[in-house]
Amino acid sequence: MDVELIAPNGVKWTQPLGLFIDNEFVGSTGGKTITAVCPTSEEKICSVHAATAEDVDKAVKAARTAFKSPSWKKHGAKERGVLLNKLADLAEKNAEVLASLETWNNGKPYSLARYGDVGVSIDVLRYYAGWADKIHGQFIDCGPDKIAYTIKSPLGVVGQIIPWNFNNASVAVKLGPAIACGNTVVLKASEMCPLTALYWAKFVKEAGFPPGVINIINGYGPEAGAALASHLDVDKISFTGSTRTGKEILKLASLNMKNVTLETGGKSPAIIFEDADLDNAALWTNIGIMTNSGQVCSATSRILVHESIHDKFLEKFKAQGEKISVIGDPFEQTTTHGPQVSKVQYERVLSYLDSGKSEGAKLFMGGKAVPQGGKGFYVEPTVFTDVKSHMKIFREEIFGPCVVVVPFKTEEEALEIANDTNYGLNSAVFTSNIARAHRIAAGIDAGNVYINSVNNMDIRVPFGGTKQSGIGSELGEPCLATYTYNKSVFVNLAI
Ligand code: ADP
């Protein structure tokens, strides 16, 4: 059930194709498959097994048995940390394969795959490995007759549904805290990029995890994803993906009142004041929208600029973009801008570019598909101006290299435009006025605010959204609370 693969950069490996359940790769019961396609060449890479609801049930049963088994209970906090560190070591040893897989199947530039995705995944696992033996409850003095203490108890079987844009980092961000807290897991990868998470499954047994503790499957969202989200023996769902699917998952999770973490979409603002360092703002706002060809939930896709510097900023943004956005083969070292992940996403992004034009916005730069040598789902870095707040390109998440630039007159107006959205994930403010920077940070409806940078994140700092951008947060210490419940134990001393 394996296949030998050689990526376009010459890196070779044996790719598993089955479902990883109970520490074994097994076939799907339904015989359905998912085909992994290279978005650069538009050619098939290989096909993997797609889980049915029956396969999901098998994986959940394996995770439940593992959760209850003395062998997992015996793995105390320190041992769980050791296992996570081993997983990180294996990812580091196989970093070239993991990065090649991501560049081949996702289209992400190789250096971003190696350092922004695989590198992050290694760091995240080591970070949560360190937490594993530091997850303590409280002792509470209740007077002379009674004491109480709390235990941070694992939730049980956790279902994790990941997207396709940063597969390596997503695997680690989901597995790290769940395992550190003592849960067992069924993780479902996205059908758009089914190979990377499956390669991680090879490390699970080698690292020494007992069977059933980590199960990794592929499957279609409406079938396998829905089966996991609605399964009555799953205690928690942690989901990253679109707001539309997040709402669906919330409904399914209500069946047995699962604990839920949702990290969903965004339409994040970057506000640039007249006193900002414009070169710095032009650099970071390019990074904020164009990284990973705009396929980042936290992309700052609405740039709000003080009217007095609007035209000057646009020129600087364009000049900076021409320097840092190099379109090409993502395996080439100089490439920073690869294709969109799939034909569906590519066509979706292009339809937004058409809607911007037909709704009357002005195309300042880009605006079209740019296949390389007649192939690939490439879209030019695109900027629209003269955008009205009712337009789709202002309101909806495009998930592509397209940004709208909107002028404002006052600080109040800037905040009003920034908050005129159903989303609340990310935001940025560029100014040299410290008091104003903090006023904006306090007033903006967003889970993350960057002052004079964008997406300059850190694994030690929680990341999450408000409004329709999600529930709960990931990374940092606060994420641990989303994988445990407080058990309060009372002791009667008056006997
Ligand atoms: P995108 O459209 O960008 O792929 P989605 O939110 O649809 O984003 O997908 C993110 C993840 O959610 C994927 O793993 C996908 O399989 C899964 N998914 C999609 N639809 C459902 C659903 N109805 N129930 C559960 N999971 C789903």
pTM for the model: 0.98
- 335 and 204 in one domain? no
- Mean pLDDT across the chain, nearest whole number? 98
* pLDDT tens profile 161-206: 999 999 999 999 999 999 999 999 999 999 999 999 999 999 999 9
Structure confidence by residue, pLDDT tens digits, 400-434: 999 999 999 999 999 999 999 999 999 999 999 99
Q: How far is the CA of 15 from the centre of ligand 1 (A)?
A: 23
Catalytic machinery residues: 263, 297
Same domain, 126 and 246: yes
Question: Does residue 73 fall inside a structural domain?
Answer: yes
Residue 121 lies in a domain: yes
The tens digit of pLDDT for each residue in 110-121 reads 999 999 999 999
244 Cα to the center of ligand 1, angstroms: 9
Same domain, 260 and 296: no
| 91-115 pLDDT, tens digit each | 999 999 999 999 999 999 999 999 9
288-327 pLDDT, tens digit each: 999 999 999 999 999 999 999 999 999 999 999 999 999 9
Residues in the chain: 495
Q: Are residues 244 and 305 in the same domain?
A: no
Domain with residue 146: its CATH number is 3.40.605.10
Buried b (16+ CB within 10 A) or exposed e, 239-252: bbbbbebbebbbeb
Q: Would you state the pLDDT for residue 112?
A: 97
Task: Say if residue 479 is in the same domain as residue 424.
Answer: no
What is the CATH number for 383? 3.40.309.10
Pocket of ligand 1 contains residue 248 by CB under 6 Å? yes
Q: Is the pLDDT of residue 266 over 80?
A: yes
339 in Cβ contact with 377 (< 8 Å): yes
256 shares its domain with 313 = no
Choose the residue to mutate in 190, 216, 220 for probing ligand 1, maximizing ligand atoms within 8 Å of C-beta: 190
Q: Is the CB of 270 under 6 A from ligand 1?
A: no
pLDDT band at 272 (very low <50, low <70, confident <90, very high): very high
Assess whether 441 and 475 both reside in one domain: no
pLDDT score at 63 = 98
Q: Which residue, chain included where needed, has tokens 């994930």?
A: 425
Residue 1 — pLDDT band, cuts 50, 70, 90? confident
Domain residues for the domain of 387 are 269-457
